[in-house]
Amino acid sequence: MKLFAGIVGATVLVAISGCHSGKSTDEGRGDRAPEKRPGMVWIPGGEFIMGTDDPESYEQERPAHTVQVSGFWMDETEVTNAQFKAFTDATKYVTVAERKPDWEELKKQVAPGVPRPPDSLLVAGSLTFQKPSQPVILNDYSQWWKWQPGADWRHPEGEGSTLEGRWNHPVVHVAYEDAIAYCKWAHKRLPTEAEWEFASRGGKQQERYSWGSEVTPNGKFMANTYQGSFPVSNTKEDGFERTSPVKSFPPNPYGLYDIIGNVWEWTQDWYDVNYYKTLAASRVSVNPRGPAKSYDPQDPYSQKRVSRGGSFLCTSTYCVNYRPSARQGTAFDSGSSNVGFRCVADSSEQTLSALQEP
* Average pLDDT of the chain to the nearest whole number: 88
Q: Are 134 and 143 in contact (CB under 8 A)?
A: no
- Quote the CA–CA distance of 138 and 314 in Å, as a whole number: 13
Q: Residue 269: left if φ>0, alpha if ψ -120 to 50, beta else—which one?
A: beta
- Quote the CA–CA distance of 14 and 9 in Å, as a whole number: 9
Over range 308-314, report the average pLDDT: 98
- For the ranges 116-120, 317-321, 322-326, 343-347, the lowest mean pLDDT is seen at 116-120
pLDDT at 21 over 50: no
Which of the four pLDDT bands, split at 50, 70 and 90, describes residue 23?
very low
**Which of 77, 122, 105 lies closest to 265 in space, CA to CA?**
77
For 183, 185, 306, 356, the CA distances from 268, given in Å and listed in that order, are 11, 16, 7, 7
Looking at residue 2, its amino acid is: K
List of domains in the chain: 1-27+39-350 (3.90.1580.10)
- What does DSSP assign to residue 272? B
Rg (CA), the chain: 19
Q: Are 347 and 110 in contact (CB under 8 A)?
A: no
State how far Cα 163 lies from the chain centre: 21
State how far Cα 70 lies from the chain centre: 22
Give the tens place of pLDDT for each residue, 205-222: 889 999 999 999 999 999
End-to-end Cα spacing for the chain: 25
